[in-house]
Amino acid sequence: MKKINYVIYVLLLATSSTLYATTTETNTDIPVGLWVAVTIFILLLIQGFYAKENAIIDETMDVEEAMVGEIKSTKRMQHYKFAHLVLKDMFFNNSDNVITNILTPKDAIKEFWYDVGKYYCEQFEIAEELDGSSLKVTAKETENTLFIVVSLPEPKEVPEAYFVGMIIPHDRKEKSSYITLEKGEIGSVLCEWTKDVHLNFGEGPEPTLANFQDKLISMGNISAKSWSDSNPVYSGEEWMLALWKWADTYHLSPFVMPRNAEDLERIETLSLDFQDDDNPEYLPKEIGMLKSLQTFVLYDSKVKDLPNEFRNLGNLKYLYLDGNEFEEMPDSLCDLAKLEKISLSYNKLTTLPHCIGKLQHLDTLNLKYNFLEYLPESMSSLKLNYLRLQNNPVKYISTEVQTFLNTTRKEDSACKEPFKVVWKSNSDKIQEYIGQFNIDGFEGSLPFFLSGQELESNDPPLTERNLLMGVLYGLNSADKFPLHANEKILTSLLNTLSKGYGYESAEEMVLDVSEKVRNMNGSRPSLVMLETGHKLVPESLEIIEHILWDLWSEISLSEENRIELLEEIPRRVKELDLSKIHPYSKQLVCYYGLCALIFMHRAKGEEYLENNLVDEYLKNYFYPNVSDELLSKKAVDLMANPEKFQPIDLWSPVTHL
């Protein structure tokens, strides 16, 4: 700017001299003193104008270059860059991303702050990122405009910001504004940013949130009203607004429940997985408006019932309600004629509705670990292929239901939801997504576990849950790692994800994730995950128990590798301390061990009899531990007529365990 000023001064003086010479030649009677006075006055006007312009407009690159050395030396690069560069660029590139990524998720602004900090700490070898616990977002909506204020940690250096304000018109064709209130040499300085230019308005208000909010409102030319803490603003029908409000209350990510009308109406899979401190006791009735929904998942909540409107989900096929507080299977489910799979394990069910017989498309029913004492006769009209009733104190079974049970495959290894583990590399669009995990030395690929509808999507969800399942699966497939995959990094990442989901131990995480995968995808992937868990926690008896269930399930389903799997079972049984496991589990594992030995004898011949393996097993494992009459009878029948049985026939009589 100074160079431009000097050029204009010279041109002005030259022009003035030329005009004076011209007037002299033409004998124009203008005093010399007047020419000098006019020239000086014009020079002063120009000087004042450019002084003001220099105070208002700074080239962004000049500001950046001027600040880098100073901020790096004070180790506060993160604070300056967050407000003046990263958040600004995000705002001008796509202001809707600000609403989605800053306003909606719980503490998203703090996560974003730390992501920026980690990046600049690495770039400039700064020891640690600045504390962001005081970050806060407030929002206000008028008829035509959305106002957002980000309250930053207290600034220490000039020109760090106290606050960032965003003025976003609903009509995106109108100009949006990005305002900062910055620390000055004395007091505060109010500034506005465009993509490339920094506008300095001079002295700002006292740096309090209320003052800055009022200033922001006045810049939008409307009267100030109440502000709300991080209340997102949505546009849609009344039922959508109610559903979004509930989703925000329990901090559901927009990836789980879309925050725009078009995507919400088309959603086919809704998977609700809450943290302990955000655990709802009810589901909103508006869920019944999601008419395109085909899969609904609700795990480990305090929910006891479904809203009556749930019966309106006429396209629902797959329903997973494991680990909740249901005492009755809701009657509304009987109206969902397209249901193919229902999983209600680990609830508090005492009864089933008589209308359950209406579900003529139902293929799989999982009711294990409940309190069922009676099964309604209408169950006998179902056309189930797979039924799970383990750990229910069933006391009475009618003749019709017993006949039904005898002809139903009572196992959990059905070919359920298809699944696939896909490896995404740094070259894919996941670098920013995984950056939050701050894995030292990350390089290469990460596995994501996809199933069901996700496999049909051109852009499948790469969520933390997909990643957790993918890593647990992938760690047991090291020989199939793609180029650059790193087992050490995957193990570190698994630990980070486990803590993020609030699991108290690796064992708890392995058992919970494998159970959910088994319910949706069958025992094959859950067995792989359990084997990973056994490597991580070799002392866990419960993980070995679950491995045994999945092994027998795989043996029952397929002849592939059957001999190898059969040999695994008695070996695993002998590894267990049977005195420390659940009485029901103890009986079942000893029962399966005997069945495996007899099938191996049938397949391999007399060596198993000659070595007295069966007799030894009966003496040391079966007779001391198996007291259930039906298990004992099954074992006797098998030993007497081994050729008459297939593994599926020996699936445990679960209604009695």
Q: Where are the domains of the chain?
A: 2-58, 75-229, 238-406, 415-539
Whether the full predicted model's pTM is greater than 0.85, yes or no, is no
Give the gyration radius of the chain's Cα atoms. Answer: 35
40: confidence class by pLDDT, cuts 50, 70, 90? low
Q: Is 70 exceeded by the pLDDT of residue 556? A: yes
Q: What pLDDT does 633 receive?
A: 81
Closest CA to 84 of 194, 223, 240, 238: 194
Digit-coded pLDDT (tens) for 247-302:
878 877 666 788 778 888 888 888 887 755 567 888 999 999 999 999 998 888 88
Q: How far apart are CA 483 and CA 100, in angstroms?
A: 34
Higher pLDDT, 200 or 324: 324
The arithmetic mean of pLDDT across residues 46-68, rounded, is: 43
- The pLDDT, as a whole number, for residue 57 is 35
Rounded to the nearest 5 percent, the helix, strand and coil shares of the chain are 50, 15, 35
Buried residues in 346-378 as b, exposed as e (16+ CB within 10 A): bbebbebbeebbbbeebbbbbbbbbebeebeeb
Q: How confident is the model at residue 272, as a pLDDT?
A: 83
- CB atoms near residue 290 (< 10 Å): 23
Query: Dihedral sign, CA of 257, 243, 366, 498?
Result: positive
The tokens of 34 are what? 């007047």
pLDDT of residue 420: 86
pLDDT at position 74 over 70: no
In this predicted model, what pLDDT tens digit does every residue of 373-399 receive, in sequence order? Answer: 888 888 888 888 778 887 787 776 777
* DSSP-assigned letters across all residues of 90-136: HHHH-HHHHIIIIISSTTHHHHHHHHHHHHHHHHHT-SSPPP-TT-E
The number of beta carbons lying within 10 Å of the beta carbon of residue 19 is: 15
The sign one gets for the Cα dihedral 448, 452, 458, 464 is negative
Q: Please tell me the predicted confidence (pLDDT) of residue 1.
A: 40
Where does 238-406 sit in CATH, by number?
A: 3.80.10.10
Tokens coding 484: 């650059």
Highest mean pLDDT among 26-40, 287-301, 596-610: 287-301
Q: pLDDT over 70 for what percent of the chain?
A: 71
Is 19 a residue whose pLDDT tops 70?
no
**Among 134, 138, 160, 136, which Cα is nearest to 147's?**
138
Query: What is the structure's pLDDT at 207?
Result: 92
What single DSSP character describes residue 154?
Answer: P
Paired strand residues for 203: 189
Q: Which residues of 179-213 are buried (b: 16+ CB within 10 A; e: fewer)?
A: bbbbbbeeebbbbbbeeeebebeeebbebeeebbb
pLDDT at 657: 33
What is the per-residue pLDDT for 4?
Answer: 41
Does pLDDT of 54 surpass 80? no
| pLDDT at residue 22 greater than cutoff 90 | no
CA angle (301 as vertex; 533, 539 as ends), nearest 5: 20
Q: What percent of the chain has pLDDT over 90?
A: 13
State the pLDDT confidence band at 59, using cuts at 50, 70 and 90. Answer: very low
* Residues 631, 637, 642, 645, Cα dihedral to 10°: -70
Residue 586 pLDDT > 60:
yes
Structure tokens at 96: 């809707």
95 touches 176 (CB < 8 A): yes
Q: What is the pLDDT of residue 321?
A: 92
Whether the predicted pLDDT of 158 surpasses 80: yes
Average model confidence (pLDDT) for the chain?
A: 76
207 or 550, higher pLDDT? 207
Q: What is the pLDDT of residue 290?
A: 94
